[in-house]
A and B are shown apart, each in its own frame.
Chain A
Amino acid sequence: MLTFLRRRALTSLLPLLAVVLGVFVLARLTGNPAALYLPENATAEAREQFSAANGFDKPIWAQLIDYFAGVARLDFGTSLRTGEDAATMALRAFPATLQLAVVTMVLAIAVAIVVGCWAALRPNGLADRVSGMLSMTAASVPDFWLAILGIWVFAIILGVLPTSGVDAGGASWVLPIAVLMVRPAGVLTQVVRGAMISALGSPYVKVARAKGASEGRVVARHALKNAAPPALTVAGDLAVGLINGAVVVESIFGWPGIGKLMIDAILQRDFAVLQAAVALTAISIFVLNIAIDIGYALLDARVRNKAGAAA
């Protein structure tokens, strides 16, 4: 197991470096921060001073070396906007995103298991067709549109939920989670349904029924455990999408997470913060992928043995 983790961490290092490099390059393509931070009528001297103070006057390769030297010490520099340490800002925003993502995924998975199993028990039955239509719709609706619709209906017309922010306690969570979970719930319902139909049609389910197992036992003890790996794969992808996609929904709902931090950093050419936020997001996605691989091994002994044999 430890060998496996070490190998995964090492193989993750290269793509991680690519991401860190990519964000550096892309951020520089957005333009010179001096143009944004200084008044329009600032003198050339002032501009040069600003650039020199923040290291933007050095050649790009020198900036890159500085940058990587900093990254190696987990120092992403300081925010142009607040003067605060960029990494600290990213780490402070991260829990809000993580909480949102975890609650959303747990709820989406719960919905998908219940609805997907229900639909799979009688393929093409009424439950299957209704849930199929709903989940396809859910999987296809853009979340930014849904977010605006949600705010309009629940915050403006009905006035039962806050439009944005986190000040209203539990009520603040309702709309962001509802909006974020629609797509994962829809997609996962389809995946669980498909995997369950295939599991329920398999010989080992017939054998379980031949042993006199009740329908509940067949679903819970035999089919679901076999349907889990494909669902886990997709759930992992969706969770990654959730962390990335939080940018949009967090901006709409004013959620103080990493997504909002990133957008703000881009808009203000706050390179250090953007780089720290992207690097943190990338690391969390690599960690998530490793967690999914561990999940596979826990679910299926065949994967476990293969990993053990290869290690």
Chain B
Amino acid sequence: MTDIGMKVDGLTVDLHTPRGTVRAVDGVSFTAHRGRTLALLGESGCGKSMTAQAVVGLLEPIAEVTGGSIDIDGEDLLTVSRKRRRQLAGPALSIVFQDALTALNPVVKVGVQLAEPYRIHRKMSAKAARAEAIELMRHVGIPEPESRADSYPHQFSGGMRQRLLIAMAVALSPKVLIADEPTTALDVTVQAQILALLARLRKEHDMAVILITHDLSVVAEEADTVAVMYSGRIVETGPVDQVFEDPRHPYTRGLLESVPVDAERGADLSSIPGSPPDLFSIPPGCPYQARCPLVMDVCRTSRPALVKTGDRAVACHAASASGSEGVSHAA
């Protein structure tokens, strides 16, 4: 196994809302290896972005981490001082957000924004940091970086803005890079270029990349391992090729079946009936019970644990009761 970039264990996030406290992330554990990509896959509201924000320490004030640990090189991000956490933000851990237009400061020249990591962490002079920023822009494929450094974000296309955002995130060669839906706002051709750029940078900097996405094709192409999230929990995890070849959780299977492969024109597309449970009314037992074709009595009372088998793990009573083949058959 390659070097571990980050190990998250039992991460739990509660949301304190006016209607009461709900659990948005419930005991999520995963390990991200250097030079590899781990995908956190799930529908909106499943807790994948909340997990990312908790890891980088950028939760909204109503959200609170109530348990778990986030370990990078022996340091637990949840217990280190605020100052230490700031020191680690950039060199150890970095994040790329979804919407590059709002993630770049509209009134600051991009060259200045890209120079900031060097100014903050390496205490470089403005001039030296600018030179680094220009080099960085060139490296991520921005044409004419010397003159473009004095442009503002709105003067770039969507794809170029995402490149800038990625450049800023990898400026200090972080050990771990979180990419939160980095291509969702982009059109398909640009999407492919951005993913290729991320893959190249991952290799160059030997980063552990955590890719947050709802896009199965992105997971299939880019990720080494996948963790499928549902209702704030990881319900299935394992190497991408194995999980996609032989999904063991009925939710994973539902997701994969909803991808139209060889679908005939006019034929109905497959989808998972219903929607994820409201965080305020998660039923006892398995959160997927209401939508699950394999639901059993035990699912309504007892919450399935994430059971590990080799490289893979699944949290499903049906899967552990009858084994993967039985589940596949039943589907």
Choose, from B24-32, B82-90, B186-194, the stretch at the interface: B82-90
What residue of chain B has the Cβ atom nearest to residue A210's Cβ? B95
B105 in contact with A300 (CB, 8 Å): no
A208 in contact with B121 (CB, 8 Å): no
State the CA gap A240–B250 with chains docked (Å): 67
A212 in contact with B117 (CB, 8 Å): yes
Choose, from B96-104, B228-236, B261-269, B294-302, the stretch at the interface: B96-104
Query: Given A301-B152, A302-B154, A210 and B56 touching (CB < 8 A)?
Result: yes
State the CA gap A217–B87 with chains docked (Å): 14
Tell me how far the C-beta of A50 lies from the nearest C-beta in chain B, rounded to whole angstroms: 61
Choose, from A127-135, A155-163, A198-206, A268-276, the stretch at the interface: A198-206
State the CA gap A201–B155 with chains docked (Å): 23
What residue of chain A has the Cβ atom nearest to residue B57's Cβ? A209
What residue of chain B has the Cβ atom nearest to residue A212's Cβ? B89
A206 in contact with B152 (CB, 8 Å): no
State the CA gap A217–B155 with chains docked (Å): 25
State the CA gap A222–B105 with chains docked (Å): 7
- Kindly supply a per-residue 1/0 record for chain B positions 119-149, scoring 1 wherever the CB is within 8 Å of any chain A CB and 0 otherwise: 0110000000000000000000000000000
State the CA gap A210–B58 with chains docked (Å): 8
Partner of A226, one of B99, B105, B169: B105
B106 at the interface (CB under 8 A from A): yes
A73 at the interface (CB under 8 A from B): no
B108 at the interface (CB under 8 A from A): yes
B12 at the interface (CB under 8 A from A): no
A7 at the interface (CB under 8 A from B): no
B8 at the interface (CB under 8 A from A): no
Query: Given A212-B117, A213-B120, A214-B86, A302 and B97 touching (CB < 8 A)?
Result: no
A213 in contact with B116 (CB, 8 Å): yes
- Chain B residues within an 8 Å CB radius of A123: 61
A207 in contact with B104 (CB, 8 Å): yes
- Kindly supply a per-residue 1/0 record for chain A positions 281-309, scoring 1 wherever the CB is within 8 Å of any chain B CB and 0 otherwise: 00000000000000000011110010000
What residue of chain B has the Cβ atom nearest to residue A225's Cβ? B107
A6 at the interface (CB under 8 A from B): no
A221 at the interface (CB under 8 A from B): yes
What residue of chain A has the Cβ atom nearest to residue B112's Cβ? A221
Tell me how far the C-beta of A195 lies from the nearest C-beta in chain B, rounded to whole angstroms: 13
B89 in contact with A300 (CB, 8 Å): no
- Chain A residues within an 8 Å CB radius of B105: 204, 207-208, 222, 225-226
Query: Given A203-B97, A301-B152, A208 and B116 touching (CB < 8 A)?
Result: yes
B94 at the interface (CB under 8 A from A): yes
Query: Given A203-B99, A204-B102, A210 and B107 touching (CB < 8 A)?
Result: no
- Chain B residues within an 8 Å CB radius of A221: 108
B70 at the interface (CB under 8 A from A): no
- Kindly supply a per-residue 1/0 record for chain A positions 178-219, scoring 1 wherever the CB is within 8 Å of any chain B CB and 0 otherwise: 000000000000000000000001111011111111100100
B165 at the interface (CB under 8 A from A): yes
B168 at the interface (CB under 8 A from A): yes
Tell me how far the C-beta of A207 lies from the nearest C-beta in chain B, rounded to whole angstroms: 5
Interface-central residue, A221, A300, A301, A305, by most chain B CB under 10 Å:
A301
Query: Given A221-B108, A300-B107, A302-B154, A212 and B90 touching (CB < 8 A)?
Result: yes
Partner of B103, one of A206, A300, A302, A305: A206
State the CA gap A186–B99 with chains docked (Å): 35
B117 in contact with A206 (CB, 8 Å): no
Tell me how far the C-beta of A203 lies from the nearest C-beta in chain B, rounded to whole angstroms: 4
- Chain B residues within an 8 Å CB radius of A302: 106, 152, 154
- Chain A residues within an 8 Å CB radius of B61: 123
Tell me how far the C-beta of A300 lies from the nearest C-beta in chain B, rounded to whole angstroms: 5
- Chain B residues within an 8 Å CB radius of A214: 86, 120
State the CA gap A210–B154 with chains docked (Å): 21
A207 in contact with B106 (CB, 8 Å): no
State the CA gap A50–B116 with chains docked (Å): 74
State the CA gap A225–B107 with chains docked (Å): 7
- Chain B residues within an 8 Å CB radius of A217: 120
- Kindly supply a per-residue 1/0 record for chain B positions 155-169, scoring 1 wherever the CB is within 8 Å of any chain A CB and 0 otherwise: 100000000010011
Partner of A204, one of B103, B154, B155: B103
B87 in contact with A209 (CB, 8 Å): no
- Chain A residues within an 8 Å CB radius of B121: 212
Query: Given A222-B108, A302-B154, A211 and B168 touching (CB < 8 A)?
Result: yes
Can you list 18 pairs linking A and B with CB atoms under 8 Å apart?
A204-B103, A204-B106, A206-B58, A207-B95, A207-B103, A207-B165, A209-B58, A211-B94, A211-B116, A211-B117, A212-B117, A212-B121, A226-B105, A300-B106, A301-B107, A301-B154, A302-B106, A302-B154
Closest 7 CB pairs of A and B: A212-B89, A204-B105, A301-B152, A203-B102, A203-B103, A212-B90, A212-B86
Apart from A207-B95, A211-B168, A212-B88: 13 A-B pairs, beta carbons within 8 A: A207-B97, A207-B104, A209-B58, A210-B56, A210-B58, A210-B89, A211-B116, A211-B120, A213-B120, A214-B120, A217-B120, A222-B105, A300-B106
